[in-house]
Amino acid sequence: MAAVKASIGSPAELNLTHYRNDSIDDFEITILNKSDGTPFDLSPYDAVVMQIKNDSEETTAIIEFSRAATSILWSVDSGGNETGDGTDGKIVLRKNMTLMEALGEGDFVYDIQFVITASSKRNTLVFGTFKNTADVTR
């Protein structure tokens, strides 16, 4: 679980470390308003996408998380069921081991963009590095 402070035009930096080939089981990120620390209301955004790439200039993601693919959820309960609506500023990342195998060992970049499709509004609220550490047991 991580909490970050962001605003439109000034995304929060959050550097993540992962163990290669492990699943990502409901990693929660709480996004707070940079100005006052209150939860950022994410409910107006109907699309949320996170892409992991080798560098920021690549056009194709190695791995993508999204609300559409249910690998980004609003808040979840202890059973992993989505219970939120985005008003609490929380998103949850979820990817199984098989899907994470596409990402080899190394240092990558990512960002998380929030989109209001009807108005073509897109805001990046979180970005950073994604370090994938080599595993021993395969």
Q: In Å, how far from its chain's centre is CA 129? A: 12
Express each pLDDT in 114-130 by its tens digit.
999 999 999 999 999 99
The residue written with tokens 């990817």 in the block is 95
DSSP assignments along 85-124, one per residue? -STTSEEEEEE-HHHHTTS-SEEEEEEEEEEEGGGTEEEE
In eight-state DSSP terms, residue 61 is -
How far apart are the C-alpha atoms of 22 and 9, rounded to whole Å? 33
Class at the top of the CATH hierarchy for domain 2-133? mainly beta
pLDDT over threshold 80, residue 138: no
Q: CA angle at residue 49 from 128 to 23, to 5 degrees?
A: 75
* Lowest-confidence pick of 2-6, 9-13, 81-85, 132-136: 132-136
| pLDDT (tens digit per residue) in 4-56 | 999 999 999 999 999 988 999 999 999 999 999 999 999 999 999 999 999 99
Distant-in-sequence, close-in-space partners of 45: CB < 8 Å, separation ≥ 6: 86, 114, 115, 116, 123
Using an 8 Å Cβ cutoff, are 124 and 103 in contact?
Answer: no
* Contact by Cβ (8 Å): 72, 92: yes
pLDDT higher than threshold 80 for residue 95: yes
- If one counts every other C-beta atom within 10 angstroms of the C-beta of residue 36, the result is 7
